């Protein structure tokens, strides 16, 4: 949608300086395995604690980089430098990603 309007929403920055490109730069070392972290350890949201106590996948324990595979495939449409990591996390793109480049 942005491309058809000549806009770059991937690198667009909000008033606070946040952007999707910066968010992906933050996530990349965790997805690549260069860094690790425990999920929701410092969350103060009660619902997060309830999900962790219930043993729901992804709400406790180490971050699983494979859980970011679809995200990296999708974002690699905007930033092709992320495609090798997408391929490592998930060998084939999810079917919906092919529709995004059209």
Calpha distance 58→39 (Å, rounded)? 7
In a 3-state reduction of DSSP, which class is residue 38? strand
> How confident is the model at residue 101, as a pLDDT?
59
Please give the model's pTM, rounded to 2 decimal places.
0.84
| pLDDT for res 89 | 97
Residue-number span of the structural domain to which 13 is assigned: 3-100
More confident residue, 66 or 60: 66
d(CA 32, CA 34): 6
Task: Give every CB contact of residue 98 below 8 A, 6+ residues apart in sequence.
Answer: none
* Tally of domains within the chain: 1
At 5-37, the pLDDT tens digits run 889 999 999 999 999 999 999 999 999 999 999
């Amino acid at each position: 949608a942005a491309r058809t309007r000549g806009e770059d929403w991937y690198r667009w920055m909000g008033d606070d300086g946040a952007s999707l490109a910066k968010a992906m730069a933050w996530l990349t070392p965790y997805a690549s395995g260069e860094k690790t972290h425990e999920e929701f350890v410092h969350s103060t949201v009660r619902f997060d604690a309830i999900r962790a106590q219930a043993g729901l996948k992804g709400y406790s324990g180490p971050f699983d980089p494979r859980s970011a595979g679809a995200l990296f495939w999708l974002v690699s449409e905007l930033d092709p430098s992320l495609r090798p990591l997408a391929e490592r996390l998930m060998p084939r793109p999810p079917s919906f990603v092919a529709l995004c480049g059209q």
